């Protein structure tokens, strides 16, 4: 309402009319405070935050970028649309890229690793940082699903050159649509800040007379979206605390079931609590488990293995490089045969994975009931 009252829905300029209301800036301040990053830039989506993160880290035309086969498509699209060449490496039971698979996918042309912290928790950072250091690779973090996730006291998104969060409707905090890039590097921040707004340098108060040090595009967030994102940022820690508590109840309800495993979490204390990630003995049992859970009315059940957006098996358009218009990869050639990739760990782990989304507003008796339903449904398929 404060934004609507001033009528200034744009994040830049109009200093007199906006009566001191700068929602995008305030949202950025809260993301900085929360993550400890020196710089934050709110943009129009998590996808555009990843695009900005790549550009600000100097990744572009012809650069080979290591990516996981389990992520949201935006990760892969961001590389392709920036002119980069995705190289798929395998993941492990952390649900994220693992250092050995990154090593195996390296070529003399590898420039960067685009690490995705999937399903609300951090990847196994120490060995990944080691391989990046060893091979002088730029690390970029797609933390689209992982705001509120930490690795031994450091927020995800702060291990590499740049990091990206999503504030879409399905994330721990939403702006309706929105994203935030973070970095500790002032130069990279300056590049992202300009890149996201047609290259404007944002110096001075006369927007019409700003310089354009670089080419950019429009990845701006609106003040309306930023106002929602700001309000949500204020609630982030309470949402995280509630999710972690509810998740603990669900986990306790099924912990002792024989044959049931869980996603490996290198730092359990750093979990944002958004998903309980269950590993069934095999994909057949997992698929029967999904049916049983849905029949029991357990909310938020995700089976990514067959989901259209998150797993490579369904990405025919990526494999065929179907695009609206030619991309760099069409003339440069793909660095791998995407139709013949061998990613055995991903096929195994994602086939066995069921993720249960955790609510932050469940009443205690609801959480207990879901825990009971979860247990009986899983017990019925585990035998």
Ligand X SMILES: Cc1ncc(COP(=O)(O)O)c(C=O)c1O
Q: How far is the CB of 185 from ligand X (least distance, A)?
A: 21
Q: Which is nearer to ligand X, 217 or 380 (CB)?
A: 217
Least Å distance, CB 177 to ligand X, is 6
Which of 27, 30, 45, 124 forms a contact with ligand X (CB under 6 A)?
45
179 vs 335 by CB, closer to ligand X: 179
Task: Decide whether 94 or 145 has the Cβ nearer to ligand X.
Answer: 145
Residues, the chain: 383
Give the range of 69-77, 107-115, 197-205, 342-350 binding ligand X by CB under 6 A.
69-77
Residue 71 near ligand X by CB under 6 A: yes
**Is position 347 an interface residue for ligand X (rule: CB under 6 A)?**
no
Minimum distance, C-beta of residue 125 to ligand X, in the bound complex (Å)? 16
| CA–CA separation, 175 and 224 (whole Å) | 9
Residue 47 CB, nearest distance to ligand X (Å)? 3
Q: At what angle do helices 344-352 and 283-295 cross, to 10 degrees?
A: 30
Read off the tokens for 186.
């002032």
| Candidate segments 27-35, 140-148, 264-272, 290-298, binder of ligand X by CB under 6 A | 140-148
Question: Between 110 and 129, how does the x/- string for binding to ligand X read (CB under 6 A)?
Answer: ------x-------------
Q: Is 171 a catalytic residue?
A: yes
Among 94, 101, 110, 145, binds ligand X (CB under 6 A): 145
Name every residue whose Cβ is closer than 8 Å to that of residue 346 and which is 6 or more positions away in sequence.
Answer: 68, 69, 70, 90, 91, 311, 312
Shortest spacing between CB 42 and ligand X, in angstroms: 12
| Closer to ligand X by Cβ: residue 43 or 370 | 43
Q: Does 74 bind ligand X (CB under 6 A)?
A: yes
47 contacts ligand X (rule: CB under 6 A) = yes
- Nearest approach in angstroms of CB 49 to ligand X is 7
How far apart CA 72 and CA 65 sit, in angstroms, is: 16
Nearer to ligand X, 150 or 260 (CB): 150
Question: Between residue 227 and residue 256, which ones bind ligand X under the rule CB under 6 A?
Answer: none
Residue 318 interacts with ligand X (CB under 6 A): yes or no:
no
Query: Hey, which residues between 148 and 167 contact ligand X (CB under 6 A)?
Result: 166
Q: Nearest distance from residue 68's CB to ligand X, in Å?
A: 9
Q: Is 46 in the site for ligand X (CB under 6 A)?
A: yes
Measuring CA to CA, which residue among 67, 32, 88, 62 is closest to residue 140? 67
Q: Given 23, 111, 171, 243, which residue is catalytic? A: 171
Q: Report the residue from 92, 93, 98, 142 that binds ligand X according to the rule CB under 6 A.
A: 142
Instruction: Report the interface residues with ligand X, using CB under 6 A.
Output: 45-47, 50, 71-72, 74-75, 116, 142, 144-145, 166, 168, 179
């Amino acid at each position: 309402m404060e934004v609507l009252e001033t009528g200034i829905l744009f994040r830049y300029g109009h200093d007199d009319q906006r009566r001191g209301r700068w929602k995008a800036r305030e949202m950025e301040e809260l993301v900085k405070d929360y993550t400890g990053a020196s710089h934050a830039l709110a943009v129009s989506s998590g996808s555009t935050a990843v695009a900005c993160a790549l550009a600000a880290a100097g990744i572009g035309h012809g650069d080979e970028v290591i990516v996981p086969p389990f992520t949201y498509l935006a990760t892969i699209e961001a590389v392709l649309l920036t002119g980069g060449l995705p190289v798929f490496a395998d993941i492990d039971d952390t649900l994220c890229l693992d250092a050995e698979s990154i090593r195996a996918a390296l070529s003399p042309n590898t420039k960067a690793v685009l690490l995705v912290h999937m399903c609300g928790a951090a990847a196994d950072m120490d060995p990944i940082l080691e391989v990046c250091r060893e091979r002088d690779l730029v690390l970029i973090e797609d933390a689209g699903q992982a705001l509120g996730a930490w690795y031994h006291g450091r927020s995800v998104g702060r291990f590499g050159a740049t990091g990206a969060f999503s504030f879409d409707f399905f994330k721990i905090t939403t702006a309706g649509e929105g994203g935030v890039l973070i970095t500790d590097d002032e130069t990279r921040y300056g590049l992202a800040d300009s890149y996201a707004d047609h290259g404007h340098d944002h110096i001075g108060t006369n927007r019409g007379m700003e310089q354009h040090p670089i080419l950019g595009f429009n990845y701006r967030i609106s003040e309306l979206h930023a106002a929602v994102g700001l309000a949500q940022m204020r609630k982030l820690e309470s949402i995280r605390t509630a999710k972690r508590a509810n998740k603990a109840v669900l986990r306790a309800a099924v912990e002792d079931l024989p044959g049931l495993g869980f996603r490996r979490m290198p730092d359990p204390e750093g979990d944002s609590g958004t998903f309980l990630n269950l590993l069934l003995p095999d994909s057949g049992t997992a698929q029967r488990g999904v049916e049983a859970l849905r029949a029991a009315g357990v909310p938020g059940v995700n089976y990514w293995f067959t989901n259209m957006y998150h797993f490579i098996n369904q990405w025919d358009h990526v494999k065929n490089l179907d695009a609206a218009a030619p991309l760099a990869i069409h003339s440069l050639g793909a660095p791998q045969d995407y139709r013949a990739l061998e990613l055995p760990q991903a096929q195994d782990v994602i086939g066995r994975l069921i993720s249960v989304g955790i609510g932050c507003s469940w009443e205690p008796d609801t959480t207990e009931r879901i825990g009971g339903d979860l247990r009986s449904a899983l017990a019925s398929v585990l035998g």
